Structure 1
C-alpha cells in the first residue's frame, strides 16, 4: 500500500499553495479590521448657514462617532454657481481613497437632471452612503395677514419679491408652486445661499421666503415667535404610495398640494403638477446626500454604510435628529442607491416643459446639452 501523503511529503510548490490558502482568512481579517481614515473631508458646495451646511455639520458630528476610528471630519464649503462650482471641483479632484466625500442637495441634482452644460459631474460615478429627505416651509411678511386664505388673496394682488439662488436650484419647485397658485411673486436671482435669502427677508427686501426644515427650525422659528414672519404652507412629505401628504414636522400647516388641488379644475394629472411632483421627489423626498466616488474600496464603503446604519438605532442620534432636522427617516446603502438612480430620471418631454416655462414666464433661458 502506498503511504498517505502528509504535509511534509508534499512537493515544495504544493506545500506553499496549501500554506498560502491557510493564511488567506488571516490576511482578510486583518484587512477588514483596518480603521477608517483618521481625517475625512466633506465638500459642501454651498455657503455657511444654509440648510445643506446645517445638515452636513450635524451629520458629521454623529458619523464621526459612529465610524470605527472616530475620524475628524472637516467641512470644506465651496459655494458658487448654485452648488455647481464646488461639485465640479469635487468631481475632478476627489481621489477614490475614501477620504473625500461630497454633500449634495436639490440645487446640485436639478441642474444635472436638466442637463445644464455647466455640469461636469455625473451622479452615476458616485455612490451614496446616506440620504435624507427633508421638508420645507414658505413664510411671509406679517403685512400679508395671518390666515391662509387672506395671505393668498393679498399675495395675488400685491407684487412682492422672493430672493433665490438660481432659477434651476433648490427653490425652483417653490417658484413653480407660487406660479401654480397665481401669486404675484417675482424671483430675484443671485443669492449665494438660502441663508442669504433669509437675510433679504429679514431686511424687508423680500416679502416671502422659503427654508428647508433644518434651517427653518434654527433660523426662522425665532422670527415666527417674535411676529416677524408668518408660515404659509409646507411642501409636505411623500408617503409609500408616492402621494404628497402633510409634513409631520408641521402637521398644522397645509401643503402646497392641498392648496393647489383645492382650486377649481386642478388635478394631479396636470402637467405642471406632474413636474412639481417629479422635482419634489428628486429634490426633497431624497434631498441631502452623502456621496463617495464609486471606485472606493467596497470594504471601506461597507464600513461607512454600516456606520450610517448604526445611527438608525442610536436613540441619542434619533432624538437630536428630530430636534435638528425634523422627523424624517434617512435612507442608507443600496436602498439609497436605487432611489437615487430613479430620482435622477427626467423625460425629455418634461425637461423641455421646464425649459419653456422658465423662458415664457420669467424670461430665463435655460441651455441644455
Structure 2
C-alpha cells in the first residue's frame, strides 16, 4: 500500500522555489492536456469545459489540446504521462477517482508518483446510480425492488471509479454482476443504452450531459446519488439532484436504518477521496516556479469569474472548485487509508471479485 505522507510538502515546496527565471518564461503556447480516459466520460466532459476557460486566464492564452489516452481504467495514460511529461509546463494531466484509487490501494500496475506532481485545480463532483425502467422500478422510492434481482453493471474495474458504488450496492444487499473491462464510464453508459447493462453510474457532468435526456425520455430511472459532504461531515442531498435521495436514504428505505460498520466507513473513505477530489489537474512539480505560479494564478482568476461560475454550475453542477495549493494538504490526507481499512478492502475485493491487490 502506497502512502502519500510527503504529498503536501512536495506540492507546497514546488510553489515556493526561489530560482530566478527569464522574464519571458511563461506557460508555453501549446499545452497537451492528457485525459487518461475515453471520449464522452465524465472526466472528458469536465476537461473539455475546463480547458478553454483555463486557457483564457493564462497569460498569452495558450492552446490546451485534449489528449485522450484511455486504458487500464486511467492507469495506462497516467503512467505514460509520468514517464513522458515535459517539465516546462507544456504537459498537464486531469485525473479522476479511477486514478487515485489504484494509487491508494497499491495497484502493481501503477508507475506514477503523485508526490512528484503539483495540483493546480481540484473539482469535486457528485454522481447518480440509475437503472433500466423494465426491471420494475418506477422511481427512487422503489429501490427495495432491486433486491433479489441480478443487476448487470458495465464497469471499468473493481478498483476504478465505481469502487465506492460497488461497495455501497453490496452493503445495501443488491446482487450486482459487474462486467469489467470498460475503457471509460462513457463506455459503460453506452452498454446501458444498448440494454447490455441494467444498472449504471455516472458522475454529475456526464449525467447532466448524457443521462438526463434518457431520464426525461423514460429510458432510465435514477435511484440514488452519492450526495455531498457538508461541513459537519454528514452526507446530504446533492444540490445538483435535490429530488434524488442519497445512498444513505436509499439504504434506510430498504433496511429501515442508517448504514454503519467497517464497510460503510470504507465506503465513506473512498467517497471522500474520489468525489471531493474527483477531478484534479496536475503539473509536474519540477516545472519552473514562474510557470507554476502562472497556472495557479490563472485558476484563481478563473474560479472567481462570475461567468465561469455560472457556466460551471450549469454544466458540471454547483460545486466549489479549488486552487491546488489550497487543497494539497487535504488531498494528501484523503489518499491515505488506515491499515484496518486496507485489510478490509483487500479481503473484500478478493472474496467478491477474485481480485488480488
TM-fit CA distance, 1:261: 5.0
TM-fit CA distance, 1:147: 3.1
Does residue 146 (structure 1) correspond to residue 146 (structure 2)? The answer is no
Partner of 2:329: 338
Higher-Rg member (1/2)? 1
SS at match of 2:189: helix
Partner of 2:34: 43
- Which residue, 305, 311, 321 being the options, matches 1:320? 311
Rounded Cα–Cα distance in structure 1 between residues aligned with 2:341 and 2:294 = 38
Partner of 1:259: 250
Partner of 2:10: none
SS at match of 1:187: strand
SS at match of 1:312: helix
Partner of 1:179: 170
Count of residue correspondences: 337
Gaps of 5+ in 2: 1-19
Partner of 1:311: 302
- Which residue, 276, 282, 287 being the options, matches 1:285? 276
Gaps of 5+ in 1: 1-27
TM-fit CA distance, 1:351: 1.3
Rounded Cα–Cα distance in structure 2 between residues aligned with 1:160 and 1:333 = 39
Deviations 1:11-45 (A, max 9, x none): xxxxxxxxxxxxxxxxx7x9456442101011111
Partner of 1:16: none
Rounded Cα–Cα distance in structure 1 between residues aligned with 2:336 and 2:349 = 20
Partner of 1:158: 149
Per the normalisation by structure 1, the TM-score is: 0.88
Rounded Cα–Cα distance in structure 2 between residues aligned with 1:142 and 1:267 = 26
Q: 1:8-87 alignment to 2 at 5 Å?
A: 31-32=22-23, 34-87=25-78
Asked if the contact 1:136–1:216 (Cα under 8 Å) also holds between the matched residues in 2, the reply is yes
Deviations 1:184-207 (A, max 9, x none): 221110111111111111111111
TM-fit CA distance, 1:258: 2.4
Q: Taking structure 1 as reference, are residues 360 and 303 closer, same or farther at Cα in structure 2, changes over 3 Å only?
A: same
Partner of 1:239: 230
The root-mean-square deviation of aligned C-alpha atoms, in Å, is 1.6
Asked if the contact 1:133–1:285 (Cα under 8 Å) also holds between the matched residues in 2, the reply is yes
Deviations 1:78-132 (A, max 9, x none): 1111110111111111121111111100000000000011101111111100000
SS at match of 2:89: coil
Partner of 2:356: 366
Partner of 2:113: 122
Per the normalisation by structure 2, the TM-score is: 0.91
Q: Which structure carries more relative contact order (alpha carbon 8 Å, separation 6+)? A: 2
Deviations 1:30-84 (A, max 9, x none): 9456442101011111111100011111100101111111001111111111110
